[in-house]
Chain A
C-alpha cells in the first residue's frame, strides 16, 4: 500500500492534508474548518487577480466547490495549499481568458479596478519629474493596482503567488504547471514591468535619497547594500 504510506507520511507533515483527508471521508465539519481556514487567503488572492471584491468571493467559493466535488479523487502528493492554489490558478486563468473574450466596461468611473478609474490618476512619465507628494494613499493604491493589472495574466498570477502567498519558484511552477526556469523568466519580466511602472512612486513616502534629488543621473544611485 504505497499510496497509503505516502498519504500517511504527507499527512504527518501537513495538518491541512490531514484535514483534507477528513473532507475526503465526507466529514462535513472538516470541510467547514477548511473553508474557515483558507477563506481569507483565497479571497485575498482572488481579489488581487481579478480586482473586484464580489467576483473574488464568487471565485473563491467556486474553488471550494471544486474541492468539495472532487474530494473523493483527492490524493495527497504535495503541500495542501499548493493543490488548492492549483485549482484556484486554473479557475482564475479561465475566467480571465473568458473576460477578455467578452470584455465588459464598468459603468462606475470611480471603480479603481476599471481602466476608466485608473486613468483618472495622473501618471508621471519621467522619473526626472518626481511624483507629486499630494498624491494620496488611495491614488497610490490605484497606481499599484493598475501596474499589477497591466501585467499579463500569468505574470500577475506568478507575482501574486510569490508576493502574497510567499511561494517559492518551485511551488509556483507546480501550481502553474510550468518549469522552474519558465517561472524564473516569467517573474523576471513581471518584476521588470512593475519596476518600470512603479519606480516613480518608490520614494513617495519619504524624501528621495540625495543621489536622486541632486543628480538625476544614472550612476550615483545608492548602493543597495548601504
Chain B
C-alpha cells in the first residue's frame, strides 16, 4: 500500500498526569483481573482517587455532546463515481500523492458507452445540473452570457477549442446531456415505460436560457472532459440537431425529462444508474427504477390485486390492462385540455367533431364507406369481422369498444382519437366510377394474353392479403411489380388519376373547391401528375389538407377541417394553433 508512514510517536506529552494510567484503563475495562482488583481497593480507601475517577469518567462522557457529522446526501455517489476511472487505469501509476482536494466530474470512456469520472477540478455534476437549471430558469441570458461564454476563449490558450457556435449550443444543453452517451441511448429512452414525452407538449422545447455564471461553469466542466468525451458530446448535439424538427423536439423532451428524473432520484438510485459499465446495462437500470417507481405509485387496491395474482402470467396481464387503462385516461385528459372551452362552456357539448351534427353524420358514413365497418350488420361468422372491412381484427374491436364507451359513458375523446389514428394508418383513395380493382379476375381478358403477366397475377391472387380491398389491392399491384412494368396495364386501369375520371362528387370538389384555392405552382404541380396513379389522387389529398386549403375530400378523408383533426387529435406533429389554455 503506498501509504506514507506517519511520523514516529511523540511520547513527550506535556503535563502528563502520570499515575492515572491504571485508573483510566480500569474505567475502560482494559485491566487484567488482579490489576482491576488493586484499583478497586485503592478507590475504596482513597476519596481523592474516587473524585479523580469520577471526573475522568464524566469529562469523557461530555464528548457525547459533540454532534455527529453526517455525510452530505450525495457523498456516496460522488465518491463512487469519482473512483470509477480507477477501473480503466488501474494499472497506471498514480502521479504524485493523492491530494485531499481531488475532485471529479462526469465524463466518458473513449469507447463512448461508459460514464466514468476523471479526477479534475471541482465539479459535482448533478448538483451542478440542479444549480444550473434553477439559475437558468431564474436568470436571463443576453450580452453578459455571450461575454461570459467567450471570455475563456478570448482570455488565454484554451485546449480543444472546437467550433464556437456549435459548442455554444452544446454547452447550453449540457445539463441535459450529462447522463447520456449517444443518440442511440437517447432514442432508447423514448419508450412508453421510460420517458415518452407527455402528449400535451408537442411543441418545441425552449432551449435553456444561459446566464453568465452558469455558462462559465459549463465551459469549465466541458473543458475538463477528456477529448473523447468532448467529441462524443459534440456528436450527440450535432446528430440531435440534424434530426427532422418533430423528432428533435420529441427527443429534447425525452432528454429534459430524463435529466430531471435523474436529478430528483435519491442518491443511491442515481448511483445505480451511473455506475453501470455500459449503455445497455444503464438502460436496464433505468428501466428497473422506472418500474419500481411505477409499482410504488399504484393505488393500494391495484397493488394488492397484482400481488394476489395466481401466477406470473396473470400478474403480467393485470399490469398490461392497468397500463392500458392508465394510458387511455392520460390520452383522454390530454385531449380534453385541447377542447376545454367547448366542454366547459355554458352549453356543455360533446367534443368536436361529435358536437357538430352534420360532421358527426358524415363521420358515421365515413366509417361505413372507408373503414367498411357497419356496426348494424352481423359479423362474418368466418372472420368474426364485418365482411370486407379494411381494419384488422384488433383495430375493429378497438373501434367498436371506443364507440360503445363514447355512447354509453361519454368517452368521445377516445373514440375520436381511435378514428383519427385508424384513418392515418389506412389512408383511402378516391374510388373509380366503375367497380374498383380489387382482384386479379377483374383484369381485362385481352391483357392476359401475355403469359408472364398472367402467371404473376395468378400468383398474386393466391398470395395477397389485400385481395378484395380498395385501394390496398390496387396499390399492391401498381407499386410492387417493377419487372412487369412493361406489360402492366396503364395507370388509369388501377384508379382515377385525372379530372373527369373521378366520381361526380370528387370531380365537383376538385373543380369547384380545391383547384380555385391552389396557388399557380401547386396547380401546375398537380397538373403534371395527371394520368399517374396513385400519385395524382395522393397529391390531391395532400393539397386539400394544406393550411391554405384545409378541406376534407368527400368520402375519402375524415369529414371536417383537417386542421381541426390535427389540433384536437394529433399527438405527433405540432398542432397548427396553440390549444386553448386550461382555465
Contact = CB atoms under 8 A, between A and B. Distances in A.
A225 B76 CA distance: 45
Contact of B9 (A40, A72, A182, A193): A182
B69 A188 contact: no
Contacts of A89: 6
Contacts of B160: none
A198 B28 contact: no
A37 B102 CA distance: 22
Contacts of A219: 47-48
Contacts of A47: 68-69
Contact of A152 (B13, B55, B62, B76): B13
Nearest to A193: B15
A32 B66 CA distance: 29
Contacts, number: 200
A131 to B, nearest CB: 12
Interface string B37-61: 0000001000110111111111110
Given A39-B76, A188-B20, A64 B83 contact: yes
A145 B76 contact: no
Contacts of B1: 66, 70, 73, 87
B66 A169 contact: no
A44 interface: yes
Given A94-B4, A97-B7, A188-B17, A218 B51 contact: yes
Interface in B13-31: 13, 15-17, 20-21, 23-25, 28, 30
A193 B60 CA distance: 10
A206 to B, nearest CB: 11
A202 to B, nearest CB: 4
A146 B50 CA distance: 26
Interface residues of A, number: 81
Contact of B56 (A40, A53, A191): A191
A221 B83 contact: no
A224 B47 contact: no
B68 A44 contact: yes
B307 interface: no
A178 to B, nearest CB: 6
B54 A222 contact: yes
Contact of A26 (B9, B16, B56, B87): B87
B62 A218 contact: no
Contacts of B5: 90
B101 A69 contact: no
- Count chain B CB atoms within 10 A of each CB in A61, A164, A194 and give the residue with the most: A61
Contact of B100 (A28, A32, A95): A95
A148 B10 CA distance: 18
B503 to A, nearest CB: 69
A22 interface: no
B434 interface: no
A83 to B, nearest CB: 10
Interface string A137-181: 100110011001000101100010011100011000000011000
B12 to A, nearest CB: 10
A133 interface: no
A140 B61 CA distance: 13
B136 to A, nearest CB: 26
- The 7 A-B residue pairs with the shortest CB-CB distance, nearest first, are A221-B51, A192-B17, A47-B69, A93-B6, A188-B21, A198-B59, A43-B71
Nearest to A127: B55
Interface residues of B, number: 64
A95 to B, nearest CB: 6
Contact of B80 (A32, A43, A48, A57): A32
B173 interface: no
Given A61-B82, A184-B25, A220-B47, A70 B2 contact: yes
Contacts of A118: none
Contact of B275 (A28, A43, A184): A28
Given A70-B2, A154-B10, A221-B51, 13 more contacts: A28-B275, A32-B76, A39-B79, A61-B78, A61-B82, A61-B102, A64-B79, A69-B2, A95-B100, A140-B62, A162-B28, A169-B30, A185-B21
Contacts of A162: 28
A44 B68 CA distance: 6
Nearest to A168: B30
Contacts of B50: 221-225
Interface in A5-62: 26, 28-29, 31-32, 35-36, 39-40, 43-44, 47-48, 53, 55-62
Contacts of A222: 50-51, 54
Contact of A57 (B23, B24, B47, B72): B72
Contact of A189 (B13, B51, B55, B94): B13
B155 interface: no
Contacts of A132: none
8 contacts: A60-B75, A62-B100, A65-B82, A65-B102, A188-B24, A198-B59, A219-B47, A224-B53
B524 interface: no
A53 B62 contact: no
Given A28-B87, A225-B43, A61 B79 contact: yes
B63 interface: yes
A202 B48 contact: no
B543 to A, nearest CB: 59
B228 interface: no
Given A32-B76, A169-B28, A144 B102 contact: no
